[in-house]
Amino acid sequence: MENKKFTFLPTIVIVFLISLSSILVHSEANTAADANKESGLETYIVFVDKIEPQAGVIPQSRDWDSYYQSFLPASNGILSSQRMLHLYRNVVSGFAAKLTAEEAKVMEEKYGVVSVRPEEVLPLHTTRSPNFLGLVQNNGNWKNSDLGKGVIIGVLDTGITPDHPSFSDHGMPPPPAKWKGKCELNGSTCNNKLIGARSFVFDVKTSQKLSPFDEEGHGTHTASTAAGSSVYGANVFRQAKGTAVGMAPMAHIAMYRVCTPFGCPESAILAAMDSAVEDGVDVLSLSLGGPSIPFYADSIAVGAFAAVQNGIFVSCSAGNSGPEYKSLSNEAPWILTVGASTIDRKIRTTVRLGNGQSFQGESVFQPEVSLEVLYPLVDAASKTGSQASAFCGPGTLKGLNVKGKIVLCQRGAGISRISKGVEVKNAGGVGMILTNDELSGYSTLADPHVLPASHVSYADGIKIKTYIDSATTPTGQITFQGTILGIQDVPSVTSFSSRGPNVQSPGVLKPDIIGPGVNILAAWPVSVENKTNTKATFNIVSGTSMSCPHLSGIAALLKGAHPDWSPAAIKSAIMTSAYTVNRLGRPIFDERSVPADVLATGAGHVQPSRAIDPGLVYDIQPDDYIPYLCGLGYTDRDISYMVQRKVKCIESSSVPDSELNYPSFSVVFGRTSQTYTRTVTNVGPANSMYTAEVYSPAGVTVYVYPEKLEFTYVKQKLKFYVSFTTSEGYKTERNFSQGSLVWVSQYQHFVRSPILVTF
C-alpha cells in the first residue's frame, strides 16, 4: 500500500495503512532495537554451508538443530534458547540469533559460515475488481478454474482476523491431504477457508512471540483480496457497495504473520517462507519488500528461489516508491513483480469555487452537505509561507486562522492523507482540499477522511491555489456524488507504483505486470465508521500491497486449472496474455495522463480470461537460473547457498541475463547487434501454427528466426532466435525505446512479449 501511516482515532473515521514510510520504518525499528541495547544484542541472520554433521549420513532435523546451535557463542549469562530465534531448514541453511557485534564478527570466521549480517526491517508496501477483471460467477476464468479449489495461498503479512465473514468456510472442502501447517490462534479456531495461522514475530518489550491476530488491518485486507469468501452488501460509508469476494474464492488461506507496527524483520520473513515450503502451500503472496540489493543478500529473493524449487508460485508487490525510475523492490526473475493500476470506479467529489469553476476529486467519506453554502477558503501555505503548514502536519496549523474554513493542503512530506484532515479538523476547519504534488499528477485516491474532503489532481490544485491567492474573499464548497462505475479511461498506472528498470539484472524487464491497486475494498479488522454491531467490516485501501494479492489469487486460479504447470509457466501465461490499451482503445496512461512506458506497466495489465488459455508459455526450470546467476557475476559460494547445493560457475554455462528464457526482452546495447534464444512450449491445441509479428522499438531492427512455429503435439517445445540491431550513434530523448513480439496462431492466440531496449 502507499507509503503512508494513519492513526486510529476513537470517535471519528479511522484507517491505518501499514506500509510505513522509510523514515518511520527506520525510526521505529531503531526504537525496537533500543530494547536490546543494554545487553548489546541485535538480530543477525547467519547463513552456513550445507554440510552434513555426520559424514555419510542424511541428517534429521534434530541433527541440523544441534549443528546450528554449535555456532552460538559461550553463554555469557545468556541462554542459547534466548539467543536462537529461528532455524531455517528449507529455504536456506542457517538461523537467526541474538548476537553482539563482536560475537557476530567472531562467528563469521568460523568454518562453515557463509555470512553473518544484521537483519533489515522491511516495510509493507474487493467489491469491484473481480468484475473489472472479468471474473464473473459461472463464467470464464472462474468457471474453468474451479475457483481455485484445492489450492493453498500462503500470505506473509501482519496477521489475520479469523472471525471476519470473508474467511467463512461455508461450502469449502477440507484442505488437501498434503497440508501440514498449524493453527496458532488462541481462543479461536481455523476452518476450511483459513486453514493455518502462525506468527514469527516477537514483542520488542517482552520478547514473547506475538499471536497471528491482525492488529493493523493490512494482512486481513490482502488475504481477503486473494481468496476471501463472498460477503454481500460490503461497503464503506455506503460507498462501493457490492459483493466482496477474493480472486480465488475456493482457495484455502494460510496466514504467516511476519510484521509488527515496527515493520517486517527479515528473520521472520525467512522463517515463514521456510515453514510455508514444509507446510505445502501452492502460492506465496508478499505485499512487502525492501530496497534493491543483490539477490544473494535479499532474504525475499533467497526464500522465493527455494519456494520455486519446490513448485511454489511467488507473487510480490513492486513497491510504492514511484513514479521515479529504478525504484523497484523484488526484482528477481523467479518472482512475479506486481505494479498498481486503477479500476473503473471512482468515489467522486466536486470542489466548487466562488468564481464558478469546479474540479472533480475523490473521498470515501461522503456526508450530506448543503449545496447552498459557500465557505471561506484558505491555503495552508499562502498566509504563513511555512513549509510545514503547507502539508498540514500535526500541530502546524495552530498559528493559522482556519476555523470555519475549507483548507487547501498539499500531499506528501511523509504525512498520511488522513492525518492532514485530522489536523485541519482539530484546528477548527470544516473541510479539506488535498492537492497532489507534481510527481503524483492526476493520480487521486479515495480515503475515509475525518471531515468533508476532496483529493484533487496537481493541475487542479494549482488552479484552486491561484484562485485563493488572487480572490479578495475566496470561497468554495465540497459536494459529493457517491460511487461512479464504468469509468472509461482505465486502467492507468498510479503514481506511487514503483518503476523499472531492473537495477540488479538489467536484462530482465521489471515490473512484470500491473493489476488493481487503487481504492480496493476488502476485509478490515475494525469498522472505520465505528460500527460495533457487525463483524463484516471493510476498508478501501490503495497500494501495490493491494495489487499483489490480486495476482496471487489469479495465480491460484491458473494453478487450479493447470496443476502440472510450473511457477514460470504460470507467470508466462499471466504476462503474455496481458493487455496494453484502456477501455477507450488508447494506450494505458500513467499519472501524467500520457502513455505509460514498459518500465511502469511491464507486460501490461493482467487479463485472467486469456491467461487461463495462453497458447504458448516460456518455461523455466529452477536449474536454468544457475547459468543466469553465474552470468550476474555472483560467486560460487553466493550461488551455492541460494540454490542449496554446490555450484561451480567455471563448470556451468554462464549466460547473460537477457538470455534467460523470460516472457519479455530487455536488451542493453553495448555492441550494435545482439541475438538471444527463447524456447516456447505449446499448451494450446496439438496441431497449431504461430506467426511472428514484430513491433520494433524506435532505432532498432528486430529479426525473428524462424518466423513461423509449427506444433504437432501438446507440450512440444520449439526454439527461436531474436536479433536486435541498432544504428551506431542512434539518439533518443530517453535512453530507451520499446516494442513487442507477438506470436499469433490460427486459433486466435496472441502471445505477446514486451521489448525494452536501453541505449
252 is catalytic: no
Q: Helix, strand or coil for residue 288? A: strand
Give 180-211 as a 3 state SS string: CCCECCCCCCCCCCEEEEEECCECCCCCCECC
- Nearest CA to 130 among 122, 121, 139? 139
Q: Would strands 616-617 and 673-682 be described as parallel, antiparallel, or unpaired?
A: antiparallel
Question: What is d(CA 736, CA 422) in angstroms, rounded to the nearest whole number?
Answer: 44
CA terminus-to-terminus distance, the chain? 33
Question: What is d(CA 48, CA 29) in angstroms, rounded to the nearest whole number?
Answer: 26
- Nearest CA to 286 among 150, 122, 132? 122
- Nearest CA to 204 among 39, 25, 28, 35? 35
Query: Is 216 in contact with 158 (CB distance < 8 Å)?
Result: yes
545 is catalytic: yes
Give 380-417 as a 3 state SS string: CCCCCCCHHHHCCCCCCCCCCCCCCCEEEEECECCECH
Question: What is d(CA 17, CA 7) in angstroms, rounded to the nearest whole number?
Answer: 8
Q: What is the DSSP string of 327-385?
A: --S---TTSEEEEEE--SEEEEEEEEETTS-EEEEE-S------SS--EEEEETTTTT-
Angle between helix 299-309 and 266-279 (nearest 10): 10
Longest dimension (CA), the chain: 88
125 is catalytic: no
Question: What is d(CA 162, CA 505) in angstroms, rounded to the nearest whole number?
Answer: 40
- Strand-pair partners of 45: 96, 117
Q: Is the dihedral of CA 354, 358, 360, 365 positive or negative?
A: positive
Question: What is d(CA 175, CA 193) in angstroms, rounded to the nearest whole number?
Answer: 8
Q: State yes or no: cis peptide before 323, omega within 30 of 0.
A: yes
**Residues whose CB is less than 8 angstroms from the CB of residue 272 and which lie 6 or more positions away in sequence, other chains included:** 154, 156, 198, 200, 256, 257, 258
Q: Would strands 431-435 and 453-456 be described as parallel, antiparallel, or unpaired?
A: parallel
Cβ count within 10 A of residue 254: 31
Catalytic-role residue among 86, 125, 164, 218:
218
Cα angle: 562, vertex 568, 569; to 5 degrees: 35
Is 311 buried (19+), middle (13-18) or exposed (0-12) by CB count in 10 A? middle
Give the three cell numbers for residue 158: 501482519
Catalytic-role residue among 21, 86, 93, 157:
157
**What percent of the residues of the chain are helix, what percent strand, and what percent coil, each to the nearest 5?**
25, 30, 50
Cβ count within 10 A of residue 75: 10
Query: Is 303 in contact with 269 (CB distance < 8 Å)?
Result: yes
Give the three cell numbers for residue 125: 508496501
Catalytic-role residue among 416, 454, 492, 545:
545
Q: Would strands 665-668 and 708-711 be described as parallel, antiparallel, or unpaired?
A: unpaired
Catalytically active residues, by annotation: 157, 218, 545
